[in-house]
Structure 1
Amino acid sequence: MTHNIPLSPDTAHDVRHRVQSVAQLRARGVTSAQTAARCLPGGPWQQLLPGVYLLHSGRPSDEERLRGALLYAGRPAAAPARRTVPVQAGHGYGEAMVTGLAALALYGFASAPPAIALHRVDVLVPRTRRLRSTRFVQVTRAAVLPRPQRRLGLPLAPVERALADAVSALDDASTVRRLLTEAVRGGHCEPVAVVEELNAAELLGRAHVTDAVDALLMEGRAVAEGRLYEMVRTHGLPEPLWNVELSLPGGRLLGGVDAYWPEQAVALELGVRSPREQHVVFAAEREHLERLGVTVVRVGSKQLREAMSQQAVVVRTAMMAAEDREPAAYVVALPR
């Protein structure tokens, strides 16, 4: 008999009660001897993971496996036998959170279907935890844990961290590319945040990851440019020169920008570059342009998605401020 059920909020309450840690059982007055007796062959219960029990004899559902993995990784301290309430707030998961493909499946990634992604559950825990991977649970450690997101009451690593943990276990280039592309195209996260996580995980040295990152940044730029075009059109901004390379009349290059309003000497740069370009190249270009009297506005793709009208105000304000400053140096704009 199978107990697989849809992952939906309506079933969360029942599932929590069907998966219990030894500490939670003791808090409800169930002794170790009683637990062992109920887990004997033919008994009504079974041990799902060390210290975690499934309170039925059938096959565990996907959600039961997820909750069991979190209980195993959370390892709440055993409570006194007289206690009759749940051991910990947060269902006994401690600081543990789901990451990797399992987390991406819960975020709704089509490239991480539950039937495959939940076969193995990656859990992220503090580096100081003494915990081994076992059965279907793979333990991943972090020196500093990110702030978890929640789906169905389950703590999940942020999408960019879950992506990095998933990619670290994948050798298939097409799967890596699909995951990274879906992350940006689906609006789950920004490309720069993904690249930063991949860099922190020391994954950018892998050839198939590097190729996927190139595709990711191209996808991110296409999405951001689409939002930028929409901002100019829907908020009545003057039409700029798109995607130009700025230079001095003598030919010295000043850097490329995504939009340039020559009459107001306002340039706009989309924040979709790699971390190194973002912190080094852009800073140098901006400093040089502003010395020449060109105002540089930097806008992130996330800002365009979540606060487009505010970004339009920022650009319009920069244009209005041009009336009160010294004229900018003459700059040549060429297609890039």
Structure 2
Amino acid sequence: MRRGMWGQRPELLDQVGVAGVVRTSELERLGVARSTISARCRAGGPWQRLLPGIVLPQNGRPSFEQRALAALIFCGRNSVVTGRSALRCHGFGSYSGDVDVLVEVDRRVQSTGFVKVERTSRMPDADVRGSVACAPLPRALLDAARRCTTVDATRAMIAEVVQRGAVTADQLVVELEAGSGRGSAIPRIVLREMAANVHSVPKAHVRRLWMSSELPEMVFNRKIVDAAGQFIAMPDGWIDEVAFAWDIDSLDWHLAPKQYKHTVERRTRMQNAGIIVLPTLPSGVRDIPERVIADLQAHFALAASRPRPNVRMLP
């Protein structure tokens, strides 16, 4: 193609790139001189160099998708985005930091700029989201979890995905056992908690708090029905011998009016069925555990003092 034709036909740049992201070698094939590329990518110029050999022919802030695509183009064949960037592609969170990329173990590409390269002998098949080749959700989630430094942050990340039904705890256990042991200690703790049906940060603390209360056995996240078998609710905690329910409110959950209405209605159903209900805020579990234990003991005593209502817990 005659040198300079790309200037009269800017759509040619779109044809050789993806979402505007293009290799400098492709620009050169269009007749764009290396000196022109360098000049246009200088500070304040109309283009920008995202990574070595990767250009974005615009001067605005690159989108999340453009950064992810640039990372994949830079890393080359069969590479996939993983970790928190992949979680965003799968619809979880709004992460916009460094892009973690899996490459085959024999590749020599190195981390640079916002790209963090991880070599793996367990290269997953790509799950393409939009234009971005991602690791499958279980792999992406555990790769992100391995980089977390606290149990609470890991628990919150995994709980969001599991609670939305996008992946099961069993799938995560299989993936964890198949993968590297590096960074697996905290995810392993969280998955053990989930085996006990504790699916969120406050509820995990709740389980430990109940164990300190010296109350009878409490089960978590079990369905309660009335005498006719009609569903009443699935409280966070339940002591069956006295029909006592413990409900842990979520402040994030209550930011949406529709969800708050749902919480009020389910609590009303429990109370109408004669169930004693103790609502507790997560902040109480965290900041005033002694008071919460006292509330638990008082509400249990109240439940034990009245005839047990005709409700039952499903297996």
Shorter-chain TM-score range = 0.5 to 0.7
What's the counterpart of residue 319 of structure 1? none
- In the TM superposition, what is the alpha-carbon distance from 1:127 to its structure 2 partner? 0.9
Taking the aligned partners of 2:34 and 2:24, their CA distance within structure 1 comes to 8
TM-score, scaled relative to structure 2? 0.54
Contact 1:185 1:220 in 2 (8 A): no
Equivalenced residue count is 193
Cα distance change on mapping 1:193 and 1:220 into 2, 3 Å: farther
SS of 1:184's partner is helix
What's the counterpart of residue 43 of structure 2? 41
5 Å-filtered alignment, 1:172-251, equals 172-199=150-177, 200-203=179-182, 206=185, 208-219=186-197
Do residues 171 (structure 1) and 149 (structure 2) align?
yes
Q: Of residues 11, 15, 18 in structure 2, which corresponds to 1:16?
A: 18
Taking the aligned partners of 1:205 and 1:129, their CA distance within structure 2 comes to 24
SS of 2:143's partner is helix
Taking the aligned partners of 2:89 and 2:220, their CA distance within structure 1 comes to 24
What's the counterpart of residue 95 of structure 1? 78
Taking the aligned partners of 1:146 and 1:224, their CA distance within structure 2 comes to 33
Cα distance change on mapping 1:45 and 1:223 into 2, 3 Å: farther
Contact 1:191 1:220 in 2 (8 A): no
Do residues 126 (structure 1) and 126 (structure 2) align?
no
Q: Percent identity?
A: 32
Taking the aligned partners of 2:96 and 2:191, their CA distance within structure 1 comes to 25
- Deviation string 1:87-112 (CA, Å, 9 cap, x unpaired) is xxxxxxx2111100011111112xxx
Superposed CA RMSD = 3.2
- Deviation string 1:9-39 (CA, Å, 9 cap, x unpaired) is xxx9998242111232233332322211211
Taking the aligned partners of 1:15 and 1:118, their CA distance within structure 2 comes to 22
SS of 2:181's partner is coil
Superposed structure 1 runs of 4+ greater than 3 Å apart: 12-15, 218-226
- Deviation string 1:57-93 (CA, Å, 9 cap, x unpaired) is 222222221111111112xxxxxxxxxxxxxxxxxxx
Cα distance change on mapping 1:190 and 1:14 into 2, 3 Å: farther
Structure 1: gaps spanning 5 or more residues: 1-11, 75-93, 227-232, 234-335
Cα distance change on mapping 1:217 and 1:28 into 2, 3 Å: farther
- Deviation string 1:103-150 (CA, Å, 9 cap, x unpaired) is 1111112xxx32xx2211111111111111111111111113111111
- In the TM superposition, what is the alpha-carbon distance from 1:54 to its structure 2 partner? 1.3
Bigger relative contact order, structure 1 or 2 (CA pairs below 8 A, ≥6 apart): 1
Taking the aligned partners of 2:41 and 2:149, their CA distance within structure 1 comes to 39
TM-score, scaled relative to structure 1? 0.51
Cα distance change on mapping 1:215 and 1:17 into 2, 3 Å: same
Cα distance change on mapping 1:205 and 1:188 into 2, 3 Å: closer
SS of 2:175's partner is helix
Taking the aligned partners of 2:60 and 2:183, their CA distance within structure 1 comes to 43
Contact 1:159 1:189 in 2 (8 A): yes
What's the counterpart of residue 291 of structure 1? none
- In the TM superposition, what is the alpha-carbon distance from 1:161 to its structure 2 partner? 0.8
Taking the aligned partners of 2:90 and 2:15, their CA distance within structure 1 comes to 20
- Deviation string 1:222-280 (CA, Å, 9 cap, x unpaired) is 99998xxxxxx9xxxxxxxxxxxxxxxxxxxxxxxxxxxxxxxxxxxxxxxxxxxxxxx
Counterpart residue type for residue 130 of structure 2: L
Cα distance change on mapping 1:170 and 1:162 into 2, 3 Å: same
Cα distance change on mapping 1:203 and 1:195 into 2, 3 Å: farther
Cα distance change on mapping 1:13 and 1:152 into 2, 3 Å: farther
Counterpart residue type for residue 91 of structure 2: G
Structure 2: gaps spanning 5 or more residues: 1-13, 200-218, 224-228, 230-314
